[in-house]
Structure 1
Amino acid sequence: MTTPQASAGLRRDLEIVDLLAQPEHAHGGLGVTRIAELLGREKSQVSRALRGLEAEGMVERDPESLAYRLGWRLYAMAARTAEARLTHVAAPYLRRLVASLNETAHLCVLRGSGVLTLLSVAPSHAFRALGWEGVTVPAPLTSAGRVLVSDWAPDTLRAWATTWLQETNRPAALLDHLLAQVAAIRNRGFAAVDEEFEVGLVGVSAPVRDFRGLIVAAINVSAPKARLGPHLDEAGRRTLTIARELSTALGYSPR
Protein backbone atom coordinates (compact mmCIF):
# COMPACT_ATOMS: atom_id res chain seq x y z
CA MET A 1 0.00 0.00 0.00
CA THR A 2 1.30 3.44 -0.91
CA THR A 3 1.75 5.66 2.12
CA PRO A 4 0.62 9.32 2.14
CA GLN A 5 4.28 10.35 2.48
CA ALA A 6 5.26 8.31 -0.60
CA SER A 7 2.35 9.74 -2.58
CA ALA A 8 3.36 13.26 -1.65
CA GLY A 9 6.95 12.58 -2.71
CA LEU A 10 5.82 11.15 -6.03
CA ARG A 11 3.56 14.15 -6.60
CA ARG A 12 6.45 16.53 -5.95
CA ASP A 13 8.66 14.59 -8.39
CA LEU A 14 5.95 14.71 -11.03
CA GLU A 15 5.66 18.47 -10.59
CA ILE A 16 9.31 18.77 -11.61
CA VAL A 17 8.88 16.45 -14.59
CA ASP A 18 5.77 18.34 -15.69
CA LEU A 19 7.62 21.67 -15.44
CA LEU A 20 10.51 20.40 -17.56
CA ALA A 21 8.03 19.05 -20.13
CA GLN A 22 6.53 22.47 -20.83
CA PRO A 23 7.39 23.66 -24.37
CA GLU A 24 9.32 26.71 -23.25
CA HIS A 25 11.62 24.57 -21.09
CA ALA A 26 11.83 21.29 -23.01
CA HIS A 27 14.82 22.28 -25.16
CA GLY A 28 17.07 24.45 -23.01
CA GLY A 29 16.09 23.00 -19.65
CA LEU A 30 16.11 24.67 -16.23
CA GLY A 31 18.59 25.00 -13.41
CA VAL A 32 17.90 23.93 -9.83
CA THR A 33 17.42 27.50 -8.59
CA ARG A 34 14.91 28.37 -11.30
CA ILE A 35 12.95 25.15 -10.78
CA ALA A 36 12.73 25.89 -7.06
CA GLU A 37 11.53 29.43 -7.77
CA LEU A 38 8.86 28.34 -10.25
CA LEU A 39 7.54 25.62 -7.94
CA GLY A 40 7.86 27.64 -4.74
CA ARG A 41 10.00 25.00 -3.05
CA GLU A 42 13.29 24.83 -1.18
CA LYS A 43 16.33 24.59 -3.45
CA SER A 44 17.86 21.75 -1.39
CA GLN A 45 14.63 19.74 -1.67
CA VAL A 46 14.49 20.22 -5.43
CA SER A 47 18.15 19.30 -5.78
CA ARG A 48 17.62 15.99 -3.94
CA ALA A 49 14.59 15.18 -6.06
CA LEU A 50 16.48 15.92 -9.27
CA ARG A 51 19.34 13.64 -8.27
CA GLY A 52 16.91 10.80 -7.71
CA LEU A 53 15.14 11.44 -11.03
CA GLU A 54 18.47 11.62 -12.83
CA ALA A 55 19.58 8.28 -11.36
CA GLU A 56 16.46 6.68 -12.85
CA GLY A 57 16.89 8.30 -16.27
CA MET A 58 13.82 10.50 -15.85
CA VAL A 59 15.83 13.70 -16.21
CA GLU A 60 19.33 14.50 -17.45
CA ARG A 61 21.72 17.33 -16.66
CA ASP A 62 23.62 19.24 -19.30
CA PRO A 63 27.32 19.08 -18.34
CA GLU A 64 27.98 22.63 -19.55
CA SER A 65 24.89 24.65 -18.62
CA LEU A 66 24.02 22.41 -15.64
CA ALA A 67 20.36 22.74 -16.68
CA TYR A 68 18.03 19.78 -16.34
CA ARG A 69 15.92 18.36 -19.17
CA LEU A 70 13.66 15.35 -19.57
CA GLY A 71 15.67 12.12 -19.68
CA TRP A 72 15.98 9.22 -22.10
CA ARG A 73 13.78 6.90 -20.05
CA LEU A 74 10.74 9.14 -20.30
CA TYR A 75 11.11 9.40 -24.07
CA ALA A 76 11.51 5.62 -24.35
CA MET A 77 8.38 5.04 -22.27
CA ALA A 78 6.44 7.59 -24.30
CA ALA A 79 7.48 5.96 -27.56
CA ARG A 80 6.39 2.51 -26.39
CA THR A 81 3.08 3.87 -25.11
CA ALA A 82 2.39 5.75 -28.34
CA GLU A 83 3.10 2.67 -30.46
CA ALA A 84 0.92 0.48 -28.26
CA ARG A 85 -1.98 2.90 -28.60
CA LEU A 86 -1.37 3.30 -32.33
CA THR A 87 -1.46 -0.47 -32.85
CA HIS A 88 -4.62 -0.85 -30.79
CA VAL A 89 -6.47 1.94 -32.59
CA ALA A 90 -5.27 0.85 -36.05
CA ALA A 91 -6.32 -2.82 -35.84
CA PRO A 92 -9.98 -2.41 -36.89
CA TYR A 93 -9.02 -0.11 -39.75
CA LEU A 94 -6.55 -2.66 -41.09
CA ARG A 95 -9.22 -5.35 -40.85
CA ARG A 96 -11.58 -3.22 -42.94
CA LEU A 97 -8.90 -2.69 -45.55
CA VAL A 98 -8.16 -6.41 -45.66
CA ALA A 99 -11.86 -7.16 -46.10
CA SER A 100 -11.98 -4.66 -48.98
CA LEU A 101 -8.87 -5.84 -50.85
CA ASN A 102 -8.60 -9.44 -49.63
CA GLU A 103 -4.86 -8.86 -49.20
CA THR A 104 -2.59 -8.59 -46.15
CA ALA A 105 -2.25 -5.11 -44.63
CA HIS A 106 0.57 -3.85 -42.41
CA LEU A 107 1.04 -0.95 -39.99
CA CYS A 108 4.61 0.36 -40.31
CA VAL A 109 6.83 2.95 -38.61
CA LEU A 110 10.25 4.39 -39.44
CA ARG A 111 13.38 3.25 -37.62
CA GLY A 112 16.42 5.10 -38.94
CA SER A 113 16.75 3.95 -42.54
CA GLY A 114 14.44 0.99 -42.02
CA VAL A 115 10.72 0.29 -41.85
CA LEU A 116 9.46 -1.72 -38.87
CA THR A 117 6.13 -3.56 -39.08
CA LEU A 118 4.14 -3.18 -35.86
CA LEU A 119 1.03 -5.06 -36.93
CA SER A 120 -0.06 -7.32 -39.80
CA VAL A 121 -3.61 -8.40 -40.59
CA ALA A 122 -4.07 -11.22 -43.11
CA PRO A 123 -7.14 -12.34 -45.09
CA SER A 124 -8.64 -15.77 -44.71
CA HIS A 125 -6.88 -17.13 -47.81
CA ALA A 126 -3.45 -16.53 -46.22
CA PHE A 127 -2.83 -20.04 -44.92
CA ARG A 128 0.44 -19.21 -43.21
CA ALA A 129 1.68 -16.17 -41.33
CA LEU A 130 4.10 -14.08 -43.33
CA GLY A 131 6.04 -13.12 -40.22
CA TRP A 132 6.50 -9.41 -40.97
CA GLU A 133 5.69 -8.17 -37.46
CA GLY A 134 8.87 -6.98 -35.75
CA VAL A 135 10.85 -7.21 -39.00
CA THR A 136 12.76 -4.19 -40.36
CA VAL A 137 13.34 -3.69 -44.11
CA PRO A 138 15.16 -0.92 -46.06
CA ALA A 139 12.89 2.13 -46.11
CA PRO A 140 13.97 3.64 -49.47
CA LEU A 141 12.99 0.46 -51.33
CA THR A 142 9.47 0.23 -49.93
CA SER A 143 6.31 2.22 -50.45
CA ALA A 144 5.87 2.48 -46.68
CA GLY A 145 9.36 3.89 -46.21
CA ARG A 146 8.85 6.54 -48.86
CA VAL A 147 5.53 7.55 -47.36
CA LEU A 148 7.05 7.89 -43.90
CA VAL A 149 9.58 10.49 -45.12
CA SER A 150 7.31 12.22 -47.61
CA ASP A 151 6.74 15.33 -45.49
CA TRP A 152 10.41 15.89 -44.65
CA ALA A 153 12.18 19.06 -45.70
CA PRO A 154 14.02 18.61 -49.03
CA ASP A 155 17.50 19.00 -47.53
CA THR A 156 16.75 16.53 -44.73
CA LEU A 157 15.33 14.01 -47.18
CA ARG A 158 18.28 14.32 -49.54
CA ALA A 159 20.81 13.88 -46.71
CA TRP A 160 18.96 10.83 -45.35
CA ALA A 161 18.74 9.18 -48.78
CA THR A 162 22.37 9.98 -49.62
CA THR A 163 23.59 8.42 -46.37
CA TRP A 164 21.61 5.25 -47.05
CA LEU A 165 22.94 4.98 -50.60
CA GLN A 166 26.50 5.33 -49.35
CA GLU A 167 26.07 2.86 -46.50
CA THR A 168 24.55 0.23 -48.79
CA ASN A 169 26.94 0.86 -51.71
CA ARG A 170 24.10 1.60 -54.10
CA PRO A 171 24.43 3.80 -57.22
CA ALA A 172 24.16 7.52 -56.54
CA ALA A 173 21.82 7.74 -59.54
CA LEU A 174 19.10 6.18 -57.37
CA LEU A 175 18.85 9.43 -55.42
CA ASP A 176 16.94 11.24 -58.16
CA HIS A 177 14.59 8.27 -58.48
CA LEU A 178 13.83 8.29 -54.75
CA LEU A 179 13.26 12.04 -54.68
CA ALA A 180 10.92 11.78 -57.67
CA GLN A 181 8.96 9.00 -55.99
CA VAL A 182 8.52 11.08 -52.85
CA ALA A 183 7.34 14.04 -54.94
CA ALA A 184 4.76 11.76 -56.55
CA ILE A 185 3.49 10.74 -53.11
CA ARG A 186 2.86 14.35 -52.23
CA ASN A 187 0.80 14.78 -55.37
CA ARG A 188 -1.44 11.72 -55.19
CA GLY A 189 -1.37 10.95 -51.48
CA PHE A 190 -0.04 7.39 -51.59
CA ALA A 191 3.03 5.46 -52.74
CA ALA A 192 3.31 2.43 -55.01
CA VAL A 193 6.27 0.16 -55.73
CA ASP A 194 6.56 -2.41 -58.48
CA GLU A 195 9.13 -5.14 -57.79
CA GLU A 196 11.63 -2.69 -56.26
CA PHE A 197 11.85 -4.47 -52.92
CA GLU A 198 11.42 -8.03 -54.16
CA VAL A 199 10.95 -9.58 -57.59
CA GLY A 200 7.29 -10.44 -58.16
CA LEU A 201 6.07 -8.26 -55.27
CA VAL A 202 4.13 -5.00 -55.52
CA GLY A 203 2.78 -2.75 -52.80
CA VAL A 204 1.05 0.47 -51.88
CA SER A 205 1.21 2.62 -48.75
CA ALA A 206 -0.52 5.71 -47.37
CA PRO A 207 0.43 8.00 -44.47
CA VAL A 208 -1.13 8.01 -41.01
CA ARG A 209 -0.98 11.37 -39.21
CA ASP A 210 -1.41 12.22 -35.55
CA PHE A 211 -3.13 15.19 -33.91
CA ARG A 212 -0.16 17.42 -34.79
CA GLY A 213 -0.43 16.56 -38.47
CA LEU A 214 2.86 14.63 -38.41
CA ILE A 215 3.23 11.33 -40.25
CA VAL A 216 3.65 8.73 -37.51
CA ALA A 217 2.98 5.52 -39.45
CA ALA A 218 2.08 4.08 -42.82
CA ILE A 219 -0.54 1.54 -43.83
CA ASN A 220 0.89 -0.86 -46.38
CA VAL A 221 -0.58 -3.54 -48.61
CA SER A 222 1.85 -5.90 -50.36
CA ALA A 223 1.06 -8.90 -52.55
CA PRO A 224 2.27 -10.87 -55.57
CA LYS A 225 2.27 -8.80 -58.74
CA ALA A 226 0.17 -11.36 -60.60
CA ARG A 227 -2.63 -10.81 -58.10
CA LEU A 228 -2.44 -7.15 -57.03
CA GLY A 229 -0.55 -5.59 -59.94
CA PRO A 230 -3.58 -4.99 -62.19
CA HIS A 231 -5.38 -3.26 -59.30
CA LEU A 232 -2.47 -1.36 -57.77
CA ASP A 233 -3.88 2.16 -58.19
CA GLU A 234 -7.26 1.14 -56.82
CA ALA A 235 -5.55 -0.51 -53.86
CA GLY A 236 -3.61 2.71 -53.30
CA ARG A 237 -6.77 4.79 -53.24
CA ARG A 238 -8.52 2.43 -50.82
CA THR A 239 -5.47 2.36 -48.57
CA LEU A 240 -5.37 6.16 -48.59
CA THR A 241 -9.02 6.34 -47.56
CA ILE A 242 -8.48 4.00 -44.62
CA ALA A 243 -5.29 5.82 -43.59
CA ARG A 244 -7.17 9.12 -43.54
CA GLU A 245 -9.91 7.62 -41.38
CA LEU A 246 -7.31 6.26 -38.95
CA SER A 247 -5.62 9.67 -38.87
CA THR A 248 -8.94 11.25 -37.89
CA ALA A 249 -9.30 8.70 -35.09
CA LEU A 250 -5.86 9.78 -33.85
CA GLY A 251 -6.98 13.41 -33.68
CA TYR A 252 -5.80 14.69 -37.05
CA SER A 253 -7.89 17.44 -38.58
CA PRO A 254 -6.93 18.71 -42.05
CA ARG A 255 -6.72 22.48 -42.30
Structure 2
Amino acid sequence: MAPVTHQPSSAPDPSAAPRGHGLRRDIDLLEALASDEAQNAGGLGVVRLAQLVGREKTQVSRALKALAAEGIVERDPDTLEYRLGWRLFSLVARTSENRLVRMAEPVMHALSADLEETSHLCVLSDREVLTLLSVSGHSFRVHGWEGRGVPAWQTSAGRVLLADATPDELYVRFGTATELPVHELWALIQEASRQGYARVSEEFEAGLVGVSAPIRDFRGRVVAAINISAPKPRLGERLDVAGHTTAAAAARVSALLGWEPRRTPPPRTRLT
Protein backbone atom coordinates (compact mmCIF):
# COMPACT_ATOMS: atom_id res chain seq x y z
CA MET A 1 0.00 0.00 0.00
CA ALA A 2 1.49 3.29 -1.07
CA PRO A 3 2.20 5.81 1.69
CA VAL A 4 -0.19 8.66 2.02
CA THR A 5 1.35 12.04 1.19
CA HIS A 6 -0.13 15.10 2.77
CA GLN A 7 -0.59 17.93 0.33
CA PRO A 8 -0.30 21.53 1.58
CA SER A 9 -3.67 22.95 2.48
CA SER A 10 -5.06 25.48 -0.01
CA ALA A 11 -7.03 27.25 2.74
CA PRO A 12 -5.91 30.82 3.28
CA ASP A 13 -3.71 31.44 6.28
CA PRO A 14 -5.16 34.25 8.41
CA SER A 15 -1.65 35.22 9.49
CA ALA A 16 -0.59 35.73 5.86
CA ALA A 17 -2.38 39.06 5.47
CA PRO A 18 -0.68 41.65 3.28
CA ARG A 19 2.20 43.24 5.13
CA GLY A 20 0.76 46.72 4.67
CA HIS A 21 -2.64 45.79 6.09
CA GLY A 22 -1.81 46.83 9.66
CA LEU A 23 -0.10 49.98 8.47
CA ARG A 24 -3.20 50.95 6.48
CA ARG A 25 -5.30 50.61 9.62
CA ASP A 26 -2.87 52.77 11.59
CA ILE A 27 -2.98 55.41 8.85
CA ASP A 28 -6.78 55.39 9.05
CA LEU A 29 -6.52 56.16 12.76
CA LEU A 30 -4.01 58.96 12.16
CA GLU A 31 -6.25 60.49 9.48
CA ALA A 32 -9.18 60.40 11.91
CA LEU A 33 -7.05 62.17 14.53
CA ALA A 34 -6.12 64.79 11.93
CA SER A 35 -9.77 65.47 11.03
CA ASP A 36 -11.54 68.76 11.74
CA GLU A 37 -13.62 67.01 14.38
CA ALA A 38 -10.54 65.87 16.27
CA GLN A 39 -8.79 69.22 15.94
CA ASN A 40 -11.82 71.18 17.13
CA ALA A 41 -12.38 68.84 20.07
CA GLY A 42 -8.71 68.63 21.01
CA GLY A 43 -8.76 64.83 20.68
CA LEU A 44 -11.05 61.83 20.27
CA GLY A 45 -11.89 58.85 22.45
CA VAL A 46 -11.58 55.19 21.53
CA VAL A 47 -15.31 54.74 20.95
CA ARG A 48 -15.55 57.64 18.49
CA LEU A 49 -12.37 56.60 16.68
CA ALA A 50 -13.72 53.07 16.32
CA GLN A 51 -16.88 54.51 14.74
CA LEU A 52 -14.89 56.66 12.32
CA VAL A 53 -12.61 53.87 11.08
CA GLY A 54 -15.22 51.09 11.24
CA ARG A 55 -13.30 48.78 13.56
CA GLU A 56 -13.86 47.04 16.88
CA LYS A 57 -13.20 49.17 19.95
CA THR A 58 -10.75 46.63 21.41
CA GLN A 59 -8.73 46.58 18.17
CA VAL A 60 -8.59 50.37 18.07
CA SER A 61 -7.59 50.52 21.73
CA ARG A 62 -4.67 48.12 21.18
CA ALA A 63 -3.49 50.00 18.09
CA LEU A 64 -3.63 53.36 19.88
CA LYS A 65 -1.65 52.04 22.84
CA ALA A 66 1.07 50.81 20.47
CA LEU A 67 1.15 54.16 18.64
CA ALA A 68 1.24 56.05 21.94
CA ALA A 69 4.18 53.97 23.12
CA GLU A 70 6.13 55.22 20.08
CA GLY A 71 5.06 58.87 20.49
CA ILE A 72 3.01 58.83 17.27
CA VAL A 73 -0.15 59.68 19.23
CA GLU A 74 -0.65 61.10 22.72
CA ARG A 75 -3.33 60.32 25.32
CA ASP A 76 -4.67 63.06 27.55
CA PRO A 77 -4.41 61.75 31.14
CA ASP A 78 -7.56 63.63 32.20
CA THR A 79 -9.98 63.09 29.30
CA LEU A 80 -8.35 59.82 28.09
CA GLU A 81 -8.76 61.10 24.53
CA TYR A 82 -6.10 60.72 21.87
CA ARG A 83 -4.46 63.29 19.61
CA LEU A 84 -1.55 63.28 17.17
CA GLY A 85 1.77 63.10 18.97
CA TRP A 86 5.01 65.07 18.94
CA ARG A 87 7.02 62.36 17.19
CA LEU A 88 4.84 62.43 14.09
CA PHE A 89 5.42 66.15 13.60
CA SER A 90 9.11 65.72 14.31
CA LEU A 91 9.40 63.05 11.63
CA VAL A 92 7.65 65.25 9.09
CA ALA A 93 9.90 68.20 9.86
CA ARG A 94 13.03 66.06 9.44
CA THR A 95 12.11 64.44 6.11
CA SER A 96 10.70 65.99 2.92
CA GLU A 97 10.63 69.54 4.27
CA ASN A 98 13.94 69.24 6.10
CA ARG A 99 15.91 71.77 4.05
CA LEU A 100 13.07 74.27 4.06
CA VAL A 101 12.72 74.02 7.84
CA ARG A 102 16.47 74.29 8.41
CA MET A 103 16.73 77.39 6.23
CA ALA A 104 13.62 79.06 7.62
CA GLU A 105 13.98 78.48 11.37
CA PRO A 106 16.81 80.96 12.17
CA VAL A 107 15.19 83.61 9.98
CA MET A 108 11.89 83.07 11.77
CA HIS A 109 13.54 83.42 15.18
CA ALA A 110 14.95 86.79 14.11
CA LEU A 111 11.57 87.86 12.70
CA SER A 112 9.72 86.86 15.88
CA ALA A 113 12.25 88.71 18.02
CA ASP A 114 11.85 91.81 15.82
CA LEU A 115 8.03 91.81 15.92
CA GLU A 116 7.75 90.19 19.37
CA GLU A 117 5.23 87.72 17.96
CA THR A 118 5.21 84.01 17.11
CA SER A 119 5.94 83.14 13.48
CA HIS A 120 4.72 80.10 11.55
CA LEU A 121 6.10 78.23 8.54
CA CYS A 122 3.18 77.04 6.40
CA VAL A 123 2.69 74.90 3.29
CA LEU A 124 -0.33 74.10 1.14
CA SER A 125 -1.94 70.68 1.53
CA ASP A 126 -4.88 70.24 -0.85
CA ARG A 127 -7.41 72.86 0.36
CA GLU A 128 -5.73 73.51 3.68
CA VAL A 129 -2.75 75.40 5.04
CA LEU A 130 -0.56 73.14 7.17
CA THR A 131 1.85 74.56 9.76
CA LEU A 132 5.24 72.82 9.71
CA LEU A 133 7.00 74.93 12.29
CA SER A 134 6.17 77.61 14.88
CA VAL A 135 8.79 79.62 16.75
CA SER A 136 8.80 82.47 19.21
CA GLY A 137 11.33 85.25 19.56
CA HIS A 138 12.92 83.27 22.36
CA SER A 139 15.08 80.16 22.11
CA PHE A 140 12.24 77.65 22.03
CA ARG A 141 9.72 76.28 19.55
CA VAL A 142 5.97 76.67 19.99
CA HIS A 143 4.03 73.48 19.19
CA GLY A 144 0.40 74.59 19.40
CA TRP A 145 -0.08 74.96 15.62
CA GLU A 146 2.41 72.44 14.24
CA GLY A 147 0.70 69.77 12.17
CA ARG A 148 -2.64 71.56 12.24
CA GLY A 149 -4.49 72.34 9.00
CA VAL A 150 -6.83 75.28 8.43
CA PRO A 151 -8.91 76.29 5.36
CA ALA A 152 -6.67 78.04 2.82
CA TRP A 153 -9.27 80.60 1.72
CA GLN A 154 -9.67 81.97 5.26
CA THR A 155 -6.02 82.72 5.93
CA SER A 156 -3.36 85.14 4.77
CA ALA A 157 -0.98 82.18 4.34
CA GLY A 158 -3.41 80.49 1.97
CA ARG A 159 -3.59 83.59 -0.21
CA VAL A 160 0.15 83.72 -0.75
CA LEU A 161 0.52 79.94 -1.10
CA LEU A 162 -2.02 80.05 -3.95
CA ALA A 163 -0.14 82.80 -5.81
CA ASP A 164 0.88 80.47 -8.66
CA ALA A 165 -2.62 79.07 -9.20
CA THR A 166 -4.64 80.04 -12.27
CA PRO A 167 -8.38 80.74 -12.00
CA ASP A 168 -9.12 77.33 -13.52
CA GLU A 169 -6.92 75.66 -10.92
CA LEU A 170 -8.75 77.50 -8.16
CA TYR A 171 -12.09 76.28 -9.50
CA VAL A 172 -10.78 72.70 -9.67
CA ARG A 173 -9.30 72.87 -6.16
CA PHE A 174 -12.18 74.65 -4.42
CA GLY A 175 -15.20 74.66 -6.74
CA THR A 176 -18.20 75.86 -4.75
CA ALA A 177 -17.06 74.18 -1.54
CA THR A 178 -15.82 77.35 0.12
CA GLU A 179 -17.58 80.21 1.87
CA LEU A 180 -15.61 82.59 -0.36
CA PRO A 181 -16.49 82.68 -4.08
CA VAL A 182 -13.52 81.82 -6.29
CA HIS A 183 -13.52 85.18 -8.07
CA GLU A 184 -13.24 86.96 -4.71
CA LEU A 185 -10.45 84.63 -3.62
CA TRP A 186 -8.65 85.32 -6.92
CA ALA A 187 -8.88 89.08 -6.31
CA LEU A 188 -7.41 88.67 -2.80
CA ILE A 189 -4.58 86.51 -4.16
CA GLN A 190 -3.74 89.14 -6.78
CA GLU A 191 -3.80 91.90 -4.18
CA ALA A 192 -1.37 89.91 -2.02
CA SER A 193 0.91 89.36 -5.03
CA ARG A 194 1.02 93.11 -5.73
CA GLN A 195 1.73 93.98 -2.09
CA GLY A 196 4.25 91.23 -1.51
CA TYR A 197 2.26 89.97 1.47
CA ALA A 198 -1.34 89.14 2.46
CA ARG A 199 -3.19 90.40 5.50
CA VAL A 200 -6.36 89.27 7.27
CA SER A 201 -8.32 90.83 10.09
CA GLU A 202 -10.69 88.54 11.99
CA GLU A 203 -11.55 86.56 8.85
CA PHE A 204 -10.30 83.25 10.24
CA GLU A 205 -11.09 83.81 13.91
CA ALA A 206 -12.70 86.65 15.84
CA GLY A 207 -10.10 88.89 17.45
CA LEU A 208 -7.22 87.40 15.41
CA VAL A 209 -5.23 89.24 12.72
CA GLY A 210 -2.28 88.14 10.65
CA VAL A 211 0.08 88.66 7.73
CA SER A 212 1.88 86.19 5.47
CA ALA A 213 4.56 86.39 2.81
CA PRO A 214 5.64 83.82 0.20
CA ILE A 215 8.81 81.73 0.17
CA ARG A 216 9.96 80.81 -3.34
CA ASP A 217 12.32 78.08 -4.49
CA PHE A 218 15.06 78.40 -7.13
CA ARG A 219 12.42 78.25 -9.90
CA GLY A 220 10.47 81.15 -8.43
CA ARG A 221 7.58 78.91 -7.42
CA VAL A 222 5.86 79.54 -4.06
CA VAL A 223 6.64 76.56 -1.85
CA ALA A 224 5.82 77.92 1.61
CA ALA A 225 4.74 80.99 3.54
CA ILE A 226 5.85 82.72 6.70
CA ASN A 227 2.93 83.84 8.84
CA ILE A 228 2.59 86.13 11.83
CA SER A 229 -0.71 85.89 13.73
CA ALA A 230 -1.68 87.68 16.93
CA PRO A 231 -4.63 89.21 18.80
CA LYS A 232 -5.97 92.33 17.11
CA PRO A 233 -5.35 94.69 20.06
CA ARG A 234 -1.66 93.78 19.93
CA LEU A 235 -0.95 93.65 16.18
CA GLY A 236 -3.91 95.28 14.44
CA GLU A 237 -2.44 98.79 14.18
CA ARG A 238 0.89 97.59 12.78
CA LEU A 239 -0.27 95.00 10.27
CA ASP A 240 1.37 96.72 7.31
CA VAL A 241 4.66 97.13 9.16
CA ALA A 242 4.47 93.45 10.09
CA GLY A 243 3.65 92.60 6.47
CA HIS A 244 6.71 94.36 5.08
CA THR A 245 8.95 92.87 7.78
CA THR A 246 7.59 89.37 7.14
CA ALA A 247 8.03 89.80 3.37
CA ALA A 248 11.69 90.72 3.90
CA ALA A 249 12.17 87.62 6.07
CA ALA A 250 10.48 85.38 3.48
CA ALA A 251 12.73 86.85 0.79
CA ARG A 252 15.79 85.92 2.85
CA VAL A 253 14.63 82.30 3.07
CA SER A 254 13.85 82.33 -0.67
CA ALA A 255 17.42 83.50 -1.39
CA LEU A 256 18.76 80.63 0.72
CA LEU A 257 16.69 78.26 -1.44
CA GLY A 258 18.24 79.72 -4.59
CA TRP A 259 15.61 82.20 -5.73
CA GLU A 260 16.82 85.23 -7.67
CA PRO A 261 14.19 88.00 -7.57
CA ARG A 262 15.54 89.55 -10.78
CA ARG A 263 13.82 86.81 -12.76
CA THR A 264 10.64 87.96 -14.47
CA PRO A 265 7.60 85.94 -13.38
CA PRO A 266 5.45 84.31 -16.08
CA PRO A 267 2.39 86.25 -17.30
CA ARG A 268 -0.76 85.71 -15.24
CA THR A 269 -4.00 84.37 -16.60
CA ARG A 270 -6.85 86.87 -16.31
CA LEU A 271 -10.08 85.89 -14.61
CA THR A 272 -13.05 86.26 -16.95
Give yes or no for TM over 0.5.
yes
Report the equivalent of 1:121: 135
For 1:218 and 1:87, how far apart are their aligned partners in 2?
A: 11
Q: How many angstroms does 1:183 deviate by?
A: 1.2
Q: Which residue of 1 aligns with 2:199?
A: 192
- 1:209 maps to 216
Output the amino acid matched with 1:231.
R
Alpha-carbon distance in 1 for matches of 2:203, 2:172: 21
Distance apart, 1:157 and its partner CA: 2.0
Instruction: For residue 185 of structure 1, report the CA deviation from its aligned partner.
Output: 1.0
Q: Alpha-carbon deviations, 1:42-83, whole Å to 9, x = none?
A: xxxxxxxxxxxxxxxxxxxxxxxxxxxxxxxxxxxxx97440
- Asked if the contact 1:110/1:217 (under 8 Å) is kept, the reply is yes
Distance (Å, rounded) in 1 between the aligned partners of 2:189 and 2:233: 25
Quote the Cα distance in structure 2 between the aligned partners of 1:153 and 1:105: 28
Tell me how many residue pairs correspond in the alignment: 171
Aligned to 1:156: 169
Give the TM-score normalised by structure 1. Answer: 0.62
Tell me the amino acid that sits aligned with residue 217 of structure 2: D
1-structure distance, mates of 2:153, 2:120: 17
Secondary structure of the 2:205 match is: coil
Q: Cα RMSD (Å) of the superposition?
A: 2.4
Quick check: 1:100 aligned with 2:114? yes
Q: Shift of the alpha carbon at 1:154?
A: 2.2
Q: Where does residue 57 of structure 1 map in the other structure? A: none
Residues 185-210 of structure 1 show CA distances to partners (whole Å, capped at 9, x for unaligned) of 12111100010000000000000011
The residue that corresponds to 2:252 in the other structure is 245
Find the residue that maps to 2:175 and give its secondary structure: helix
Deviations, residues 214-251 of structure 1 (Å, cap 9, x unaligned): 11100000000000000000100000001011000001
Decide whether the 8 Å contact of 2:213 with 2:250 is kept in 1: yes
Q: Which residue of 2 aligns with 1:227?
A: 234
Which among 150, 157, 172 is matched to residue 144 of structure 1? 157
Deviations 1:166-195, CA, capped at 9 Å, x for gaps:
xxxx3xx63332121111012111100010
Verify the 8 A CA contact 1:140 1:161 in the aligned structure 2: no
Q: Name stretches of at least 5 consecutive residues in structure 2 with no aligned partner.
A: 1-92, 264-272
| AA of the residue aligned to 1:199 | A
Q: Which moved more, 1:151-160 or 1:182-191?
A: 151-160
Q: Tell whether the 8 Å contact from 1:192 to 1:232 is kept in structure 2 after alignment.
A: yes
One-letter amino acid of the counterpart of residue 145, structure 2:
W
Q: Work out the CA distance in 2 between the residues paired with 1:197 and 1:111.
A: 17
Q: What secondary structure is seen at the aligned counterpart in 2 of 1:116?
A: strand
Say which SS state the counterpart of residue 177 (structure 2) adopts. Answer: helix
Deviations along 1:79-123, one digit per CA (max 9) or x if unpaired, are 974401111111001011001100000000010000110000113
Give the deviation of 1:129 after TM superposition: 4.5
Q: Which residue of 2 aligns with 1:176?
A: 183
Aligned residue for 1:164, secondary structure, equals: coil
Contact 2:118–2:134 (CA under 8 A) maintained in structure 1: yes
Distance in 2, Cα, partners of 1:233 & 1:175: 25
Cα deviation, 1:18-55, whole Å, max 9, x if unaligned, reads xxxxxxxxxxxxxxxxxxxxxxxxxxxxxxxxxxxxxx
- Going by fraction, where is helix more abundant, 1 or 2? 1
Q: Distance in 2 between matches of 1:253 and 1:85?
A: 18
TM-score (norm 2): 0.59
Whether the 8 Å contact between 1:113 and 1:164 is mirrored in structure 2 is no
SS of aligned partner of 1:212: coil
Tell me if structure 2 keeps the 8 A contact 1:191–1:236.
yes
Q: 2:25 aligns to what?
A: none
Shift of 1:161: 3.1
